[in-house]
Structure 1
Amino acid sequence: MKANRREWMTGVAALAICAVPFKAFAVVAPKLPIRARPLPLTDVRLTPSDYATAVEVNVDYLLSLSPDRFLHNFRKYAGLEPKAPIYGGWESDTIAGHSLGHYMTALVLAWQQTGHAECRRRADYIVEELALCQAQRSDGYIGALGRKTKDGKIVDGEEVFQEVRKGVIRSGGFDLNGSWSPLYTVHKIFAGLLDIHGGWGNDRALKVLTAFAAYFENVFAALDDAQMEELLHCEYGGLNESYAELYARTGDMRWLKVAERIYDHRVLDPLEAQEDKLANFHANTQVPKLIGLGRIHELTGQDAPGRAARFFWERVTKHHSYVIGGNADREYFFAPDKIAEHITESTCEHCNTYNMLKLTRQLFSWQPDGALFDYYERAHLNHVMSAQNPATGGFTYMTPMMSGTARGYSQPGEEAFWCCVGSGMESHAKHGDSIYWEGDDTLFVNLYIPSRAQWKAKGVALTLATEYPFRSDIALTLDAVKHGRFALALRIPGWAGNRAAIRVNGAPVPSTPVNGYAVIERRWKQGDVVSIDMPLELRLENAQGSQDVVSVMHGPMVMAADLGPVEMEWEGVEPAMVGENPLKAFSAIVSDRPRFQTSGVMRPDDLMFVPFYSQYDRRNAVYFKRFTESGWKQEEAAFLAEQARQKDIAARSIDVMHLGEMQPERDHNLTSEISYPAAYRGRNGRDARSGGFFEFAMKVKPGPLVLQTSYWGSERSRVFDILVDGQKIATQRLNADRPGKFFDVDYPLPEALTRGKSSVQVRFEPHDRSSAGPVFGVRLFTAKANDSQ
């Protein structure tokens, strides 16, 4: 039903208020609807392409998994006999259960995308099992998550919430009373139940969720505001969104009240005030909070939550994102416009982009704008599509931007079940969910992915055929038309400018872009063909905040320099680009996909450039420091020396510990007392206060070794001991004697300390009434032959 003029003007006024701070969002012109919604995924079918292959591979992976293994702890903790052994990896840790939530959602999406009946059957089966577990417990709670006791055993994690209800809250950011981010896991189950209910009207799912939500409503009601804030400093996923959605499904205001109370003031207040204070916050912890605020904005009309969501999207995409659309270094945001300083091996966690694309869809539904889908296309093509290996069905955790670094994919037999395995299950079940959107009498085409679709509101069937982004031509054929007059809004990417050529039945169609769209309104008939020719050309793109570091783009696609197979260690120097107009030295190679050979422009050697996302089993380079010919001569020696120094340290490194960061600390089995994560000048670390310590395992190998630690040079006076396997190797004193910089200290290790061992325990222990650290990283590497011991 069309909005009347008063509704239209009210909507534009509200959106204009929200849009004032954001130059990337133009005020919607009357030619476009003021709201949009995606065509149902059940009405979109993918035709052969890499996207369709990704869905097929993912469905096979989903069906290879066992619901009963995911349900092991749910049944065990409810007093029922498990039907199958528990999975390993994260599912055998205290975060158990998060994967089932992702799996539930992925099954729904896979059924909607493909119609595969087994996916729906499994989802319904899981709901029945959860209902049984809930009935057995009788208090509304269901859960597989655990809590670790002092003797290292994992027990039913409901104890955590019993303690929280009493005001006992102990958290270091990701640990809550001995459990790993338990509310994050709770949110995944909430989301899975909501998706099964919404997928095909499974009312049992909503009943289970309502009782589960009531359990946590009571937990939160026992806390005062200060306690609630302390609780929310531990990762809670998008729990606010789930409660808001439960309100939308039921109309019960109690759930909206809970949603609004799940609000982390420390993070969200600055965003509502339009302030970017994201540096040193764990990135994926924050994105779902903003999606939740966006849902609250949709349901209540409150301005501040919507402004915060828009501001966050604008800052992250324009000032905190890598060229592939991902963000964060070692899972954390850093200062804005500092991408060039964070091109590391631990960039672009997949979960971050999975959530940023959800936020992008949400914002688009409020106010259609092509700029939103310019970002969506970039991140979807270059990051999400790179995060699944179609040969194995495995997923990446990080997608490294550092030259020569191999991607690490999960192997189905290893049962890793990282968070990014869960978000990967979802992402590759739904590649058709954002291609087509409808609003009033307008059909938006946002992504050029080969597919067929039904626009049932207008009785339209259509086919999109293309090899884009490998080829420039796109054809949209109307296979059936019932209601003939409507508008097609075709997204013209910002990089294409006004150079895209559009034809209807072979005749050129003049078009004035509106908010990034070429809008064609006419009376359509069956058999009409709309063709688009995109100007796919090479261009250089600067890293955010730097004119000296560039990437190579071809249309929407990031191009990478191929550095060889993963099986071969890469020992080269990080490639640089030299010349006033380097793209003139790129020559196209005849291929089914874009490939370019350089000549005389790369240092130290010329390279082949290929699509980044498809480098599943290849090493590559994405970012290049750029020099003029004269500048290169001046900088070459220093540049190569620094690269060689870094390469030497990396080559000699046995193990690296990134302190203050969730996954590295878990990987190294960190234990601590009176110890806290620290963040300063864009680097994360950890300290320990008087009476405390922090300790972790590091790998070793035979021969002389050096332990290197990093400190900030302007610390107040403090003194602490460093021990290896209980033996003190140094007493370190820190003073403000190296102002304004980080510095490293090397501690040679006696060979007797590591002889015959594969690992050692490294411990930092403060002296009485002092502190240890903060320590901003620890590295263990082999000593050079001339290093003294």
Structure 2
Amino acid sequence: MKANRRQWLAGVASLAICSVPFKAWAAVVAPKVPLRARPLPLEDVRLRPSVYATAVDVNVDYLLSLSPDRFLHNFRKYAGLEPKAPIYGGWESDTIAGHSLGHYMTALVLAWQQTGNAECRRRADYIVGELALCQAQRHDGYFGALGRKTKDGAIIDGEAIFPEVMRGQIKSGGFDLNGSWSPLYTVHKYFAGLLDVHAAWGNAQALDVAIGLASYFEKVFAALDDQQLQDMLNCEYGGINESYAQLYAQTGDPRWIRLAERIFDNRVLGPLVAQEDKLANFHANTQVPKLIGLARIHELTGKDDPGRAARFFWERVTGHHSYVIGGNADREYFFEPDSIALHLTESTCEHCNTYNMLKLTRHLYGWQPHGALFDYYERAHLNHVMAAQNPATGGFTYMTPLMSGAAREYSGPSEDVFWCCVGSGMESHAKHGDSIFWEGDDTLFVNLYIPATATWQAKGVTATLDTDYPFKPEVRLSLDAVKQGRFALALRIPAWADGKASLAVNGLPVPVATTNGYALVHRAWKKGDVVTLNLPLDLRLENAAGSTDTVAVLRGPLVMAADLGPAEAPWAGVDPAMVGETPLAAFAPMVSDRPRYHTTGLIRPADLTFVPFFSQYDRRSAVYFKRFSEAGWKAEQAAFLAEQARQKDLAARSIDVMHLGEMQPERDHGLTSDISYPVVYRGRNGRDARSGGYFEFAMKVKPGPLVLQASYWGGERARTFDILVDNVRIATQTLDNDHPGAFFDVDYPLPEALTRGKDRVKVRFVPADRSSAGPVFGVRVVTAKPGETAAGAKA
């Protein structure tokens, strides 16, 4: 890493936006891509009191409350050894069992690096020893806890799927492979944990176990031709390409980088190499780890295509697919670019997505440092990652809902969770010091303003960052020790500062001229020098991507949310809206140790208090607001009244109503189903059925012309299903983004021959092959309006 400050300035100036999750790599292979910056080792950074330090402390307590032997249950059982403790519940009792242990290993490594907690290191070494024992019992390099579900619902050792795959027997619907839930995703977590343990403190056994597992799967991949490989890669495989690349870095064996490059999902990654955004309708977190893998391959090989794809993906996701808090995706899927305002639901922003996007950001930053990357990083880290852990309980969110009035749901100490986002949460909150300080030859970059002390070994510098930012504007950096005094300090000046930041050295003002998002101060430093940065924390509005009338409120990097009350109290209000030409003038600060504002005459139906969004752990929030002029608001009220009139007419004509996805109505209507699941979306309950399944229920009827009405969400991905009444098909329905941003109803006139002489009929929804039915958000039987006949069906 011999690029000097001048090369950094020249190289990055031509890049509009451009890290590497270094964990003190014990690298045998040096990167072929010149890295202009790398983070100070996590062991050299210690957090000072702050919300971030609290998050780490709470997370370490949570990690140490967990039992390695319970995570190891299936590993030992499937290796023919007696388990030492009962298995955990939730996902760990499903066919994805074992993924949490991989996350847990990495989290223990990070927690040891961040805090020096010796028990974390001891536990990680213990787990490695247990996995080595399980591997030795199986004799072929394999070990694992992942399962496979049999036809009778039992879960057995999932290893048997891999010989089937090698014979070309590959069956996958995207998240299942021959009866196992995303098995290569789970294997990736084992790899990552083992490689992290080896890199952190040189545990040679961890590397040996990883090589044994890699050799087993090398044979699996080698048995497949190119088309069979693509068939297998249609199933989520996590970042296993990254693991093989990193195994190459830590061993120098070129066979691993060749395999890493072969694990390439043409359907998703090909367009990204070609700089095409075809992300809509792809599962978001399935893709991000693949791009992290490409970034690592780019670093190690110097090949351009993987790096171009990773950079293009980052630019598209952060610029066109991300919410104000930095998260992305709705119901786990990407949607069309610049359509955030159509996707404000209770199912936004899976935490794993953001965890992985921050890893990708670190890669890009390492290649060519630019403050814009850390403007995004800070936004997502502060507003999403910090919202995803409840510091009172240590629990984690899966989704972070951005629908007004939606409450967050956190995992608890219960044994019945261990979602993927519990695993990434363990890691996220073990390492809040990992991206504050970066080094680049003669430059110390300060990217995040988080209270901490750090040692820059290359220059013999010890520094203390003291601040109450982002709640207060001042950041103070003190140099406590300096051995080699001439170097540059690069302090990130966020783009939102808009030229209003001020800087001083030892109390004397210094002009703030930003280059690539940084204020650079190059001088001979000495012990006791103090740099003070003041950043303006003004309120501003930010439009939802693709919308001019849907806005969020920010204060510096903080997303501000309207407080809608405690999570335990049901929310029955209407979405608050902003009405007026100068909305920010209606905000008045309140006396508080944290930013709080109250509005006057702005919010309809009533004014509200605004607070930092991330801290609304057990409160309901509104983040996005429709914005109206006074005249526009009157029109909105008229539309609302018209919809009320429609609903009143519908209620008057209703004979029976089925509230799908709700326990008592489904029991009352005798619902039966197979491969069918209740769903909740945008505050409405519903039910779907997957390929090969169905759901059926009874509905009341009466003599005369009748209509069956079903409610759908208008932004669904393409799907087709049949609707049957007493086993007679009355319609085939196709959904394909028909009414973006809205629920809509479809009327199916009922042939009188089907209802004559009956007081009930059975309604069945059946998906087409390799499709799904619904979700259906309610079904009614209503009397037909005059003139409404079977010819008038709106399917």
TM-score normalised by L of structure 2: 0.85
Counting only pairs closer than 5 Å after superposition, residues 353-368 of structure 1 correspond to structure 2 as: 353-368=354-369
* Residue type at the aligned position of 1:695: Y
Once residues 401 and 645 of structure 1 are traced to their aligned partners in structure 2, the CA distance between those partners, rounded to angstroms, is: 28
Unaligned runs of 5+ in 2: 19-33, 652-656, 663-671, 677-685, 700-706, 751-761, 786-795
1:37 aligns with 2:38: yes
The alpha-carbon deviation at position 24 of structure 1 amounts to 3.5
* Residue type at the aligned position of 1:244: A
* Residue type at the aligned position of 1:468: Y
Once residues 736 and 371 of structure 1 are traced to their aligned partners in structure 2, the CA distance between those partners, rounded to angstroms, is: 39
Aligned to 2:622: 621
Aligned to 2:669: none
CA offsets 1:675-711 (integer angstroms, 9 cap, x no match): xxxxxxxxx99898xxx732369999xxxx9983539
Q: Secondary structure at the match of 1:412?
A: coil
The alpha-carbon deviation at position 567 of structure 1 amounts to 1.0
Identity across aligned pairs (percent)?
A: 69
* Residue type at the aligned position of 1:708: A
Q: 1:23 to 1:522 in 2, by over 3 A?
A: closer
The alpha-carbon deviation at position 737 of structure 1 amounts to 14
Once residues 740 and 578 of structure 1 are traced to their aligned partners in structure 2, the CA distance between those partners, rounded to angstroms, is: 26
The alpha-carbon deviation at position 57 of structure 1 amounts to 0.3
Once residues 138 and 467 of structure 1 are traced to their aligned partners in structure 2, the CA distance between those partners, rounded to angstroms, is: 55
Q: Secondary structure at the match of 1:443?
A: strand
Aligned to 1:758: none
Contact 2:246 2:296 in 1 (8 A): yes
Counting only pairs closer than 5 Å after superposition, residues 526-545 of structure 1 correspond to structure 2 as: 526-545=527-546
Aligned to 2:722: 720
1:244 aligns with 2:248: no
Aligned to 1:756: none
Q: Secondary structure at the match of 2:439?
A: strand
Deviates more, 1:739-748 or 1:296-305: 739-748
Contact 1:280 1:332 in 2 (8 A): yes
Which among 709, 712, 720 is matched to residue 710 of structure 1? Answer: 712
Equivalences, count: 727
Aligned to 2:170: 169
Q: Secondary structure at the match of 2:285?
A: helix
1:453 aligns with 2:451: no
Once residues 70 and 737 of structure 1 are traced to their aligned partners in structure 2, the CA distance between those partners, rounded to angstroms, is: 41
Which among 667, 671, 682 is matched to residue 675 of structure 2? Answer: 671
Q: Secondary structure at the match of 1:281?
A: coil
The alpha-carbon deviation at position 740 of structure 1 amounts to 7.9
CA offsets 1:15-70 (integer angstroms, 9 cap, x no match): 67xx97x6445xxxxxxx96100000000000111000000000000000000000
CA offsets 1:141-162 (integer angstroms, 9 cap, x no match): 0100000011111010001111
Once residues 719 and 348 of structure 2 are traced to their aligned partners in structure 1, the CA distance between those partners, rounded to angstroms, is: 34
Aligned to 1:260: 261
Contact 2:720 2:773 in 1 (8 A): no
Aligned to 2:605: 604
Once residues 715 and 422 of structure 1 are traced to their aligned partners in structure 2, the CA distance between those partners, rounded to angstroms, is: 28
Aligned to 1:71: 72
Counting only pairs closer than 5 Å after superposition, residues 425-574 of structure 1 correspond to structure 2 as: 425-574=426-575
Unaligned runs of 5+ in 1: 26-32, 658-667, 673-683, 750-760
The alpha-carbon deviation at position 631 of structure 1 amounts to 1.9
Q: 1:762 to 1:356 in 2, by over 3 A?
A: farther
* Residue type at the aligned position of 2:629: T
Contact 1:709 1:778 in 2 (8 A): yes
Counting only pairs closer than 5 Å after superposition, residues 146-161 of structure 1 correspond to structure 2 as: 146-161=147-162
Once residues 482 and 670 of structure 1 are traced to their aligned partners in structure 2, the CA distance between those partners, rounded to angstroms, is: 70
Once residues 364 and 398 of structure 1 are traced to their aligned partners in structure 2, the CA distance between those partners, rounded to angstroms, is: 27
CA offsets 1:232-256 (integer angstroms, 9 cap, x no match): 0000000000000001111111001
1:583 aligns with 2:587: no
Q: 1:118 to 1:715 in 2, by over 3 A?
A: closer
Contact 1:241 1:292 in 2 (8 A): yes
Once residues 520 and 416 of structure 2 are traced to their aligned partners in structure 1, the CA distance between those partners, rounded to angstroms, is: 48
Q: Secondary structure at the match of 2:165?
A: helix
Contact 1:686 1:773 in 2 (8 A): no
CA offsets 1:322-354 (integer angstroms, 9 cap, x no match): 000000000000000000000011000000000
Q: 1:409 to 1:526 in 2, by over 3 A?
A: same
The alpha-carbon deviation at position 4 of structure 1 amounts to 7.7
Once residues 489 and 118 of structure 1 are traced to their aligned partners in structure 2, the CA distance between those partners, rounded to angstroms, is: 36
Deviates more, 1:603-612 or 1:410-419: 410-419
CA offsets 1:544-578 (integer angstroms, 9 cap, x no match): 00001000000000000000001111111100001
Contact 1:574 1:643 in 2 (8 A): no
1:694 aligns with 2:696: no
CA offsets 1:402-433 (integer angstroms, 9 cap, x no match): 00000000011243000000000000000000
* Residue type at the aligned position of 1:47: R
Once residues 4 and 549 of structure 1 are traced to their aligned partners in structure 2, the CA distance between those partners, rounded to angstroms, is: 44
Aligned to 2:405: 404
Q: Secondary structure at the match of 1:242?
A: helix
* Residue type at the aligned position of 2:730: T
Aligned to 1:109: 110
The alpha-carbon deviation at position 669 of structure 1 amounts to 9.0
Counting only pairs closer than 5 Å after superposition, residues 150-229 of structure 1 correspond to structure 2 as: 150-229=151-230
Once residues 42 and 647 of structure 2 are traced to their aligned partners in structure 1, the CA distance between those partners, rounded to angstroms, is: 48
Aligned to 1:129: 130
Contact 1:698 1:780 in 2 (8 A): no
Once residues 105 and 737 of structure 1 are traced to their aligned partners in structure 2, the CA distance between those partners, rounded to angstroms, is: 41
Q: 1:380 to 1:706 in 2, by over 3 A?
A: farther
Contact 2:708 2:782 in 1 (8 A): no
Once residues 738 and 187 of structure 2 are traced to their aligned partners in structure 1, the CA distance between those partners, rounded to angstroms, is: 45
Aligned to 2:325: 324
Report the aligned-residue RMSD. Answer: 3.5
Q: 1:740 to 1:448 in 2, by over 3 A?
A: closer
1:637 aligns with 2:638: yes
Contact 2:720 2:735 in 1 (8 A): no
Q: 1:393 to 1:654 in 2, by over 3 A?
A: farther
Q: Secondary structure at the match of 2:126?
A: helix
The alpha-carbon deviation at position 206 of structure 1 amounts to 0.3
Once residues 699 and 35 of structure 1 are traced to their aligned partners in structure 2, the CA distance between those partners, rounded to angstroms, is: 66
The alpha-carbon deviation at position 778 of structure 1 amounts to 1.5
Q: Secondary structure at the match of 1:274?
A: coil
* Residue type at the aligned position of 1:622: V
Contact 1:730 1:747 in 2 (8 A): no
Q: 1:117 to 1:391 in 2, by over 3 A?
A: same
Q: Secondary structure at the match of 1:126?
A: helix
CA offsets 1:141-195 (integer angstroms, 9 cap, x no match): 0100000011111010001111101110000000100000000000000000011
Once residues 746 and 454 of structure 2 are traced to their aligned partners in structure 1, the CA distance between those partners, rounded to angstroms, is: 61
TM-score normalised by L of structure 1: 0.86
Contact 1:693 1:763 in 2 (8 A): no
* Residue type at the aligned position of 1:294: A
Once residues 736 and 284 of structure 1 are traced to their aligned partners in structure 2, the CA distance between those partners, rounded to angstroms, is: 24
Once residues 206 and 715 of structure 1 are traced to their aligned partners in structure 2, the CA distance between those partners, rounded to angstroms, is: 43
CA offsets 1:615-672 (integer angstroms, 9 cap, x no match): 00000100000011222222322157669999999xx995559xxxxxxxxxx99628
Once residues 413 and 204 of structure 1 are traced to their aligned partners in structure 2, the CA distance between those partners, rounded to angstroms, is: 33
1:291 aligns with 2:292: yes
Counting only pairs closer than 5 Å after superposition, residues 738-757 of structure 1 correspond to structure 2 as: 743-745=744-746
Contact 2:182 2:236 in 1 (8 A): yes
* Residue type at the aligned position of 1:720: D
Once residues 719 and 187 of structure 2 are traced to their aligned partners in structure 1, the CA distance between those partners, rounded to angstroms, is: 43
* Residue type at the aligned position of 1:671: I
Once residues 368 and 171 of structure 1 are traced to their aligned partners in structure 2, the CA distance between those partners, rounded to angstroms, is: 40
Aligned to 1:752: none
Aligned to 2:274: 273
CA offsets 1:523-561 (integer angstroms, 9 cap, x no match): 111111100111000000000000010000000000000
Aligned to 1:345: 346
